[in-house]
Structures are given as structure tokens and as C-alpha cells.
Homo-oligomer: A and B are copies of this chain.
Amino acid sequence: MVTLQEWLEEIDARARTRLGTGRVADYIPALAEQKADRFGIAVCTNEGDIYTAGEAQEPFSIQSIAKVFLLTLALRVQGDALWERVGLNPSGMPFNSLAQLEAERGKPRNPFINAGAIAVADRLVSAYATPSKHLRDVARTLSGNASIRIDARVRESEWRHRARNAAMAYLMKAFGNIDNDVDQVLDAYFSCCALAMSCVDLARALNYLAADGHARAIGAPFIAPDLARKINSLLFTCGMYDAAGDFAYRVGLPAKSGVGGGIVAIVPGRLSVCAWSPALDDSGNSVAAQYALELIAETLGHTQAPGGGLAARPRQHAP
């Protein structure tokens, strides 16, 4: 029987065969410069053990993975009142579509499309004096890495190329679904997306989703178990842009990807994993990182997912 370490190394070797496929994100210059031939993977078990292969310590721009942190913080601040501002359903449209946002009067479909994350950011701007600094500090705490920082160059580049996100923010503002100044909300949003974190950082920081909301780094619950289950459900149905259903069918894990090339996936009750490789497919998901996660899911043999966790811990009055 192979060890987890040997197994990750095998995945690393196989994922690297995909490095020639896909395209590095080029919508902002700061991302376009990334080399396509990089790959890293890190696993964080619920016991707190870390296993890695490849460039697992290399910081990259987390981009849309930030939406998981944004959502978690906003749910902590607002609870279910958040769902008056943003929906819970797959959008069925590209992640930056305006047509649906207009038809649904400025309420984004879910918190993992851009408009939804911007609406969530607006909630945090209302709640915190310096929301992006707060989110950065949370990322530092949860990952145990005090050197995590916001990449000023990426943030600046996002700001300069903000036109489409600005269009979405102003459209929500027109419908009364953004309370704060649009420029301020976009700045908070871009700052969070510009966080630079490594596979190890992300696997650690998001392990609370695998561990019923418990964050080992703080030795305490970060969110309630039920909320962790719910966020995982959202990641399962909406986490992979417009390929969410396809990914659910093939891989079957709650996951969130970013155009920086990172993807975090959750194996509830067991572990969190982050894979990274900059070249993306047409849906904006990293080709090699997706493949690595597909191998992980296959190997673990998750035949009972989703919903299978029910088996794991019967409660008092369950049959």
C-alpha cells in the first residue's frame, strides 16, 4: 500500500503531463506573466498533517478562491440575512454575465460568480473599516502564515482593468443592491482576489470546511458544522464557474477555482486539498489542477458522494 506522500508524488508526475494544455489568464497583465509549466499540490488532513508535491510552497494569486473567504466572513457577520442580497442557485451563465443580473433585478445568482462576490464584499465594507486587511488577517491566522500579503501589483492591475466588474457593481447599485461607494467596494474585492497564497496556505486555511467548521489553527470552531455543510453544498453546485455540473459529475467534490490557476477541494470529514497550475481551460479552471483533483477523487473511491457523509456520524436518535 502506497503512502499519502508517494501517492501525491505520483499525482504530481501525472498532472505534469497536462502542462502543455490550456492558456494562462490574460485579462490582466499581472497574471498573464505567469509561466504555464508550474504545478503544486498540498493536502491538509483533519488531523493537521500536511503532505505536498511540486511547488506547493509557491505563492500565487488566489483570485476567485477569495470568494470562499468572503462568503464565510459575510455569513459570520450577517447570517442568513445575506441571502436577501445574493442567491443560492447555479447561474447557468458565464461568471461575469450581466444579462441575468439585469433580469433578476440586481440580485446575483450565487456568491461564487463575480457579481455575487462583489455584493458580498459590499456587506463586508459595511461591516469592517478595512475589510481587505481583515480578510488578509483571517487568511494569515487560518493558515498560520503571517507573511501572507496582498499583491499590490495584481490589485493595481485589476483596478485598471475593472471595466466589466465595475459594470456589474454599478448595475447592482442601480437596483439598490450595493450600499457603499462602488469604487470602495471594488477596491475591497480586488484586494482580496490579489491575496498571494501557496497551496499549503490554502489547504490549511480552508480546512475548516472539511472539519465541520473547526479551525485547527485557532483551536476552535470557525463556523458552525451546519454552515460548513451548507458552504460545501454551494461549492458543489456553484464552485467551478459554468463547469460546476461537469466537475460535479466527473470529480464529485466541493471545490472552488481561481483564474490564478489554483483549485481548492474539500473531502468532508477527511481533508482539504489545493492544487495549482496556471494554464486554464475555456471555463477558466486550471487544466492540470483539475486533473490532479480528478485523480484524488478516483483514488479515494468516493462512490457514495454527495450526501454520503450521512453515513459517517449517526446522531443520537437516528435509527
Binding site for B on A (CB under 8 A): 1-4, 7, 51, 87-93, 97-100, 102-103, 109-110, 162-164, 166-171, 173-174, 182, 212, 225-226, 228-230, 232-234, 236-238, 242-246, 248-250, 252-254, 265-270, 297, 299-319
6 pairs from A and B in contact (CB 8 Å cutoff): A2-B317, A232-B306, A299-B317, A301-B310, A303-B313, A311-B312
Which of B93, B182, B307 is the one whose CB lies under 8 Å from A252?
Answer: B307
Using Cβ atoms and an 8 Å threshold, which residues of chain B touch A92? 89-93, 100, 109
Using Cβ atoms and an 8 Å threshold, which residues of chain B touch A233? 236, 248-249, 252, 305-306
The reply to whether A245 and B110 contact each other, CB–CB distance below 8 Å, is yes
The reply to whether A89 and B171 contact each other, CB–CB distance below 8 Å, is no
Nearest 6 interchain pairs by C-beta? A92-B92, A308-B309, A306-B306, A304-B309, A4-B319, A268-B304
Using Cβ atoms and an 8 Å threshold, which residues of chain B touch A225? 303
In the complex, A310 Cα to B273 Cα: how many Å?
A: 13
In the complex, A317 Cα to B296 Cα: how many Å?
A: 11
Which of B3, B230, B310 is the one whose CB lies under 8 Å from A249?
Answer: B230
In the complex, A302 Cα to B233 Cα: how many Å?
A: 11
- What is the distance, in angstroms, from A169's C-beta to the closest C-beta of chain B? 8
In the complex, A128 Cα to B19 Cα: how many Å?
A: 44
The reply to whether A318 and B304 contact each other, CB–CB distance below 8 Å, is no
Residue with the greatest number of chain B CB neighbours at <10 A, chosen from A51, A164, A169, A305: A305
In the complex, A25 Cα to B196 Cα: how many Å?
A: 48
- What is the distance, in angstroms, from A22's C-beta to the closest C-beta of chain B? 20
- What is the distance, in angstroms, from A275's C-beta to the closest C-beta of chain B? 16
Contact A317 to B236, CB < 8 A, known contacts A99-B99, A304-B312, A306-B306: no
